[in-house]
Amino acid sequence: MKGLFITIEGPDGAGKTSLINELVPRLEKVAKAEMITTREPGGIPIAEEIREVILNPTNTLMDERTEALLYAASRRQHLVEKVLPALASGKLIIGDRFVDSSLAYQGAGRKIGMEKIAEINEFATEGLQPDLTLYLDIDSDTGLSRIRHNRSDEMNRLDMETLEFHQRVRHGYLKIAEMYPERIHTIDAHQVLFQVVDEAYEVITQRFPEYFNN
């Protein structure tokens, strides 16, 4: 049986990390194959080093196209080193962000254009798409408020962007969700965590019954 690639997406403050921390142990109890988690940018040493450069709050002079290319470079190495081998060996992958993040953040947020970002990432990924994407939707005011209250000790360069930037990111995500309704399932991230986890669990196990004893 081939592997399964599921990604979790959402604006900053949507609760992706909290969802993954609660969801994966629950899925592991019923999974028919080994599960792994990973994140972007990062997931492997080279990509983690690129992550440090991208998110370092002191790198205020970084050009938006440089940023987009660094994300794509990190993604390529991550795929080759971790994701593709895991899929080839039949593992179930839960990924924190993938190409949709670049479309939303650099394409919409940075105003580069989703088409140009899609072209860069088509080259980087050779067209690989997740089997399912869970998009956690939250308004920008609430998301940024969560960040200020929960992550004030580790604010990164993107967290410090303007409200208008984060609003463009969210609108970009909503557009992507409309474009790919078969792949992307939208979850209201204003709900309490256990409701988000329950919905994510049901969507995954019902969509892919061959991978889970449920």
How distant, in Å, are the alpha carbons of 17, 69, 107, 149 from that of 13? 9, 24, 19, 10
pLDDT in tens, 182-209: 999 999 999 999 999 999 999 999 999 9
Q: Structural domain boundaries of the chain?
A: 4-211
Measured between alpha carbons, how far apart are the two ends of the chain, in Å?
Answer: 18
The structure's pTM equals: 0.95
121 CB-near residues (< 8 Å, 6+ apart): 72, 75, 99, 102, 103
pLDDT tens digits for range 73-97: 999 999 999 999 999 999 999 999 9
Angle between helices 16-28 and 193-207 (to 10 degrees): 50
The CATH number fitting domain 4-211, selected from 3.40.50.11930, 3.40.50.300, 3.90.1150.10, 3.50.50.60: 3.40.50.300
